[in-house]
Amino acid sequence: MPYSNVQQITPIMEEILRIRPQKLIDVGCGLGVYGLLSRIQLDLYFDEEFYKKIFRNYRSQKGQWITTIDAIEGFEDYLDYVPSWVYNNIIIEDVRTALPKIPDNAYDLSLALAIVEHLDKQQGILFIQNLQRISRKVIISVPKNVQPQSVPDNDFETHRSTWSKEDFVSLGFNVFLPHDHAWIPVFDPDLPPYEDHTLEKSNVGPDSNILLKLDSLSKEIKQIAELQHIVLERLSIKNRIRSLFRIFLGR
């Protein structure tokens, strides 16, 4: 859909503010929710000249914004709801044909929120690789449980693929923002590779699982044996003390 649920907005905006891009592209911008919030947070919120920038004559001046925020949107009707001052440039085109035309490393950050599930899997992989090519960092969102969806007169809204955490890890994504119902992976080469110990355990084969269980059992048996030794030793000491008392008391 061309908008986002409120639970996604906070973690995504916090990540955008952490990255603080100078050049951002909102791929599949929809109604422009993240473009608007990014413009406010990156350019207006900490700006002492905020009130000047919201005046119409000031907004008409070229180069007023510190941050370049561009967008791509394939369904032109959505743009009727986007404030004209939010984006520097809007490309009205299918993302599959628009992205290959953008030069390498043109942006600091690409947003592709609720987009990739609308492409088939191979198109989605190519789409993500193009995002990584045109920008240094990428934030994506996709439902964890993609439901069938089609919208009359807008084929872009049809759901065509499902995605897992492993899919994104295999494509180099190394951060996952918290959300119960959506994957929000981040590709950030400035951060360490993703590590998930639960995934490592799940990839252990049957033979390895048996060995792990045997090793754990062996350790438990060893601990029991050590406890038995301690108990027996203490009983032996008690018996010796009793014997000494008997000798001392002449019994």
**Per-residue pLDDT at 20:** 96
Residues forming beta bridges with residue 176, ordered by sequence position: 185
Q: Which residue has the higher pLDDT, 58 or 24?
A: 24
**Per-residue pLDDT at 42:** 94
Q: Which residue has the higher pLDDT, 104 or 57?
A: 104
pTM: 0.72
26: Cα within 13 Å, side-chain hemisphere: 29
Tens of pLDDT, residue by residue over 185-214, are: 999 999 999 886 444 433 444 444 555 556
Domain ranges of the chain: 6-195, 204-249
How many residues are there in the chain? 251
The region of weakest confidence among 19-23, 93-97, 101-105, 143-147 is 143-147
Asked whether the predicted pLDDT for residue 99 surpasses 90, the reply is yes
CA dihedral 18, 45, 7, 164 (to 10 degrees): -30
Pick the CATH number of 6-195 from 3.40.50.150, 1.40.20.10, 3.90.550.10, 3.10.105.10: 3.40.50.150
